[in-house]
Amino acid sequence: MRSLREFFLFQSNDPMELIHAHIAIMPEPPVKINSKIPVIVSDIIMRLLAKNPEARYQSGFGLEADLRACIRQLEKNKKIESFELGKNDISNRFIIPQKLFGREKEIGNLISSFEEVANLEKGFSVMVVTGAPGIGKSAMVNEIHKPIVAKRGYFIFRQI
C-alpha cells in the first residue's frame, strides 16, 4: 500500500508536466488509497485541494465546523457518516467567481489555434487577444492557461 505522502506528490522528471499536474490534475481521493479513511474525511481533504478557489473552504471556520462535526460523530457513534460539507463555511468577504460563462466559442477558437501550432514539427505562433476594457479578456485568457501548459506551451500574459 502506498503512503499518503507518496499519494500527494506528483512525480515526473519533466518540469512542465509537474507544473501542469499542480495546476490542473486532482489527485486520487485518499479513500481510494486507504479504504479505512472515512469518505467524509477524504471529501474534506479533496475540498482543501480543489483547483478552483470557489470549490475550496472559504474560511477556517467552515473547515473547523466540519472537522468538529467529524469528531462529534466519532465520539458518539464510533464512526463518521457523510454530511453536507461547508454548511457553516461563510466567507467574510465578497468573492467574484473565476469561472467564465458564455465564452465557449472564443475559448474553443483559441485552443484549436494553439493545437494546430502545437501539432507542427517546427513552428510557433503568437496569439493576441484584444478588445474594449472590461469585456473579460483577462478572464478568457486565464481560462485557456491550463490546456496550453498541458501541451507544453509557453504562456506569457501582459496586461496593458
Any idea what the CATH number is for the domain that residue 20 is in?
1.10.510.10
Asked whether the whole model's pTM tops 0.85, one would answer no
Q: How many domains does the chain have?
A: 2
Give yes or no for residue 157 having a pLDDT over 70: no
- Measured CA to CA in angstroms, residue 62 lies from 46, 76, 128 at distances of 15, 21, 41
- Residue 9 domain boundaries: 4-77
- Please list, in sequence order, all residues whose beta carbon lies within 8 angstroms of the beta carbon of residue 100, skipping any fewer than 6 positions away: 107, 136, 139, 140, 142, 143
If you average pLDDT over residues 145-153, what whole number do you get? 73
Question: Binning pLDDT at 50, 70 and 90, where does residue 159 land?
Answer: low
If you average pLDDT over residues 22-51, what whole number do you get? 89
53 & 112 share domain: no
